[in-house]
Amino acid sequence: MDLEKAMAALPPGARAVFVLHDVHGYKHEEIGGMLGVATGTCKAQLHRARRLLREALGR
């Protein structure tokens, strides 16, 4: 499976944070402001996305 496909299969919240942080380089504070969530929530979603992606991609 390639990265784009794995990203498309992520839960929406985790996917949005991953795309904004790891693809587009926004900071947690900025993403928190844009999405209206706490910075800690944003970070937790990012970690969840990365874990799920690594599982899906087997790496």
Partner 1 sequence: MSGLTCAEAQTRLFDLVDGLLDESERALTLAHLAGCAECREEEGRLRALLAEAAALAAEVAPPTDLWPHIERRIRASGTGAGWLRHLAAAACVALALAGVLTARWPDGGPPADGGAPGTLQPAALQAADVEQVERDYERAASALLGRLRARRGQMPPETVAQVEQSLRTIDAALDQIRAALRQQPAEPALHLMLAATHRKKVEVLRRMVEVGA
d(CA 44, CA 57): 20
Q: What is the DSSP letter of 37?
A: -
Say which amino acid occupies 21. H
Q: Binding mask 1-40 vs partner 1 (x if CB under 8 A, - otherwise)? A: --xxx-xx------xx-xxx-xxxx----x--xxxx----
- 47 binds partner 1, rule: CB under 8 A: yes
- Which positions touch partner 1 (CB under 8 A)? 3-5, 7-8, 15-16, 18-20, 22-25, 30, 33-36, 46-47, 50, 53-54, 57, 59
